[in-house]
């Protein structure tokens, strides 16, 4: 099957929280030819629900601290509300999809993040992906839709970064397919100047990535996102791109492509 290309696409809260944007994206996604997998986050919606319940979300350096109560909230939002909303919309657009968490069919096993400087609570780091089961779905033309919930195979659910899930799923599936990983977010690509939405850096290799970090052009949340990109490339993923929702359209030619050299 290595002669087949499998596309893995991750979408974030900027699309999920906008009904019109989500509808438009999922219509385009449904039209993509060939096997595909969708991974979604949903942190903004989880924050909204937490606040509506009178809970105060805990964040450190932009990352969620997942205590027991917040784990229940993110599980309800990610694996329930958002995952099933996305799956239902894809069915509407004739894309036969199945919503999954890492616990379903033992798809993604993770461990609770080891505490170093900060205790992020029930945050999970991925150990294994059940690529055989995922491949059964893909071969039967069923599109997996993964949320950001994993498990440790000991009965504990874990909140895992959706960018990381997309990267790890891409790596695991690269043993079976030529895999292409696409991160879809609010910008057209990685920007040279945040105030100029068209200042897309079209190509970034590993050396340039480190240079852009030193210059402060890549910072905060973009660092772990790109870190996941380069891990994927190092471990067998063929192509990685970052851009806005038009990234998956054949007519789009403005985005950022990542490479090792």
Tens digits of residue pLDDT in 130-161: 999 999 999 999 999 999 999 999 999 999 99
> Quick one: CA dihedral 53, 59, 65, 67, positive or negative?
negative
Give helix 206-214 / helix 222-234 axis angle, nearest 10°.
160
Residue-wise burial string across 69-90, b where 16 or more C-beta atoms lie within 10 A, e elsewhere? ebbebbbebbbeebbebbbebb
Give the mean pLDDT of the chain.
Answer: 94
Domains, the chain, with CATH or none = 5-258 (3.40.1160.10)
pLDDT for the residue numbered 64: 79
State mean pLDDT over 41-50: 89
Give dist(CA 211, CA 206) in Å, integer: 9
- At residue 14 the predicted structure's pLDDT band, cuts being 50, 70 and 90, is confident
**pLDDT tier at 31 (50, 70, 90 boundaries)?**
very high
Which residue has tokens 């909230």? 73
pTM (2 d.p.):
0.95
Res 62: pLDDT = 62
The pLDDT assigned to 24 comes to 96
92: Cβ contacts below 8 Å, ≥ 6 apart: none
| Gap between the Cα atoms of 100 and 84, Å rounded | 9
The DSSP secondary-structure symbol of 30 reads H
Q: In which element (H, E) is residue 217 found?
A: none
Tokens of 92: 């509407």
What pLDDT was estimated at residue 61? 64
pLDDT at 165 over 80: yes
Check pLDDT > 80 for residue 256.
Answer: yes
């Amino acid at each position: 099957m290595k002669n087949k290309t499998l596309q893995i696409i991750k979408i974030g809260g900027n699309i999920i929280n906008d009904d019109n944007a989500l509808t438009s994206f999922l219509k385009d996604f449904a039209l993509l030819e060939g096997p595909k997998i969708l991974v979604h986050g949903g942190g903004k919606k989880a924050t909204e629900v937490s606040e509506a319940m009178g809970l105060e979300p805990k964040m450190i350096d932009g990352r969620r601290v997942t205590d027991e109560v917040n784990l229940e909230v993110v599980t309800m939002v990610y694996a329930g509300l958002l995952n099933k909303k996305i799956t239902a919309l894809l069915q509407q657009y004739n894309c036969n999809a199945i919503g999954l968490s890492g616990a379903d069919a033992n798809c993604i096993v993770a461990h609770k993040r080891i505490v170093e400087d900060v205790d992020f609570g029930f945050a999970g780091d991925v150990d294994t992906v059940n690529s055989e089961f995922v491949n059964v779905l893909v071969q039967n033309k069923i599109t997996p839709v993964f949320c950001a919930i994993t498990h440790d195979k000991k009965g504990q659910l874990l909140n895992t970064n959706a960018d990381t899930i997309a990267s790890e799923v891409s790596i695991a599936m690269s043993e079976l397919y030529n895999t292409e990983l696409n991160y879809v977010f609010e910008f057209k690509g990685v920007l040279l100047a945040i105030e100029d939405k068209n200042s897309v850096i079209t190509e970034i290799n590993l050396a340039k990535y480190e240079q852009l970090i030193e210059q402060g052009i890549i910072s905060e949340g973009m660092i772990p996102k790109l870190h996941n990109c380069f891990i994927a490339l190092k471990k067998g993923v063929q192509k990685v791109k970052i851009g806005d929702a038009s990234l998956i359209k054949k007519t789009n030619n403005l985005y950022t492509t990542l490479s090792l050299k």
